[in-house]
Amino acid sequence: MTQASTTVTAPETMTRHGARGRQAFQRSIAWYLRQLSRLMNVLSDEELDRLIPLLTERRFKPRQVLFSTGDPAERVYLLLKGRVKIYQVAENGKEIILDVVGKGGVVGDMAIVEEGERTACAQAIDDTVAVSISWEDFSHLLQQSPRLGFAMVELMARRLSGMQRNFMNLVSKPVSARLADTLLSRSEDGVVRLGLTHQELAQTIGTSRETVTALLSRFVVLGALAPSGDGYAIADEDLLDDIANGDVQVSPRHPPAVPRPSSAVP
């Protein structure tokens, strides 16, 4: 496993101005962390003051691994930039994406239930910058801050709920419904910015890249989606919702008939 790391240090001005410079630098970091992360926002000023010196900066290139299954659960990461996918590798060698974590999200928090070893892999999708803290230090902070502990419980509950939803979709829904449900869950203001390749989308819903590509094309032909920038606009949310619920099934093998307007009655 290849991993780059750099300790977070203050600029030269902080060294020149001594304690006052360090305090100002830490306040600026504290403000940024509060703006970035709901998790950090629950900490008091005193708790943040204790946390910041324990943080180290980590930089990862695309496809660089943060940790692998079986690694010691040593660190927790807060993403400042980029995205990280959390995945497991099946016995047949296929990757199954469990979650994609973006800016402001936390990676490695499942160490609390992993009993010392990672149960999944984490890999950077983009150029990624994070601050990390040792699990030992983070665990101590959790014990000292009930609000942080409660926020962590909420975070893991949401993550486990999402994984449970994905699992239920895998065993109970056709692939077109799984894809539509994933698109709806990733939509913001009627726009789905994929942020994932078709291969990564396929790994999320348990199918092939070719099937995802074909179904996205079918959804556009049916009028459920319309291409928009780096993703899709939801053109007919009711139709996409019907597909997600399995009420309308779309085949990746057979193109749907293009709807034609009815003839006007003379």
Ramachandran region, residue 223 (left: φ > 0; alpha: ψ -120 to 50; beta: rest): left
Whether the Cβ atoms of residue 46 and residue 89 lie closer than 8 Å to each other: no
* Residues sharing a CB contact under 8 Å with residue 250, sequence separation 6 or more, in sequence order: 176, 215, 218, 219, 222, 243, 256
Regarding predicted confidence, which is higher, 123 or 1? 123
Regarding predicted confidence, which is higher, 64 or 20? 64
CA distance 32 to 131: 12
CA distance 171 to 168: 5
CA separation, residue 172 to residues 59, 126, 167, 205 (Å)? 39, 32, 9, 12
Mean pLDDT of 253-266: 56
Q: Provide, rounded to the nearest whole percent, the portion of the chain with pLDDT above 70.
A: 84
- In the block, residue with structure tokens 């892999």: 121
Please give the pLDDT value at position 114: 62
Please give the pLDDT value at position 2: 42
Q: Model's pTM, two decimal places? A: 0.70
Please give the pLDDT value at position 138: 87
For residue range 182-215, what is the model confidence (pLDDT) as tens digits? 899 888 888 888 778 898 889 888 889 999 999 9
Regarding predicted confidence, which is higher, 144 or 161? 144
For residue range 4-35, what is the model confidence (pLDDT) as tens digits? 444 444 334 334 445 555 566 566 777 778 77
Task: Give me the residue spans of the domains in the chain.
Answer: 4-169, 173-244
What fold characterizes domain 173-244?
Arc Repressor Mutant, subunit A (1.10.10)
Q: What six digits make up the tokens of 255?
A: 């193109």
CATH superfamily of 4-169: Jelly Rolls (2.60.120.10)
Is pLDDT at 68 greater than 90 in this prediction?
yes
Q: Binning pLDDT at 50, 70 and 90, where does residue 234 land? A: very high
Q: What six digits make up the tokens of 63?
A: 């496809």
Is pLDDT at 126 greater than 80 in this prediction?
yes
